[in-house]
Structure 1
Amino acid sequence: MTRKTARQCASWLLPSLIAINLALTAGCASKTTRYSASNRGSSCYAKALPSSGEGGLAWGDTLSMARKKSLDNCMRYAGRSGGTPDTCQVVLAQCRH
């Protein structure tokens, strides 16, 4: 009797899990996300590179914020990659129009 019960459970368990998964996926796929103007991303970016090692790219609301973030990232990544963090310089900085 135990074998019969186990088979009955196995026969409906997998289809039930698949149906629940599809229902949850369909429910999430129909939701739309609305962003306010402030959440659409920053309009300025900057890239800083050291003389050796990895550099850093960063976005910011203002050009000065992007430059500062990219320098901070450059120093962090150059230090991790065995480069020279003290030589980081901003090589590109722009704002989208």
Structure 2
Amino acid sequence: MTGKTACQCSSWLLPALLAISLALTTGCSGKSKAARYSTSNIGSNCYAKALPTAGEGGLAWGNTLSMARKKSMDNCMRYAGRSGGTPNTCQVVLSECRH
């Protein structure tokens, strides 16, 4: 008798767990995706690229040339440090504004 009860339990347990997990997954998929990055730079006219002597550099956009240069230097120092490069040797190699 106990063998029959265990068999009946297991026959509905797996589909029930599957239905619950599917319902939870479906509920989460309807949420709108939040932007991962700030969209404040959309429409910025100026950009700058800074490179270190070793490692990865940084490209950045800004509303003014000085803002773009500062952001690219900050990015260059961050990325060069992460990639095993030399952050203290970052220099802006390109900067201009679109018209």
TM normalised by structure 2 equals 0.61
Q: Which one of 48, 53, 56 corresponds to residue 55 of structure 2?
A: 53
Matches for 1:38-77 after TM superposition, within 5 Å: 39=40, 41=42, 43=44, 44-77=46-79
Q: Percent identity?
A: 58
* 2:17 alignment partner in structure 1: 13
* 1:93 alignment partner in structure 2: 95
- Whether contact under 8 Å (1:42, 1:59) holds in the other structure is no
Aligned residues: 90
TM normalised by structure 1 equals 0.62
Q: Structure 1 residue runs of 4+, over 6 Å off?
A: none
Please report the RMSD computed on the Cα atoms of aligned residues, expressed in angstroms. 3.1
**Which ranges in structure 1 are unaligned for 5 or more consecutive residues?**
none
Paired letter, 1:91: V
More helix by share: 1
**Which ranges in structure 2 are unaligned for 5 or more consecutive residues?**
none
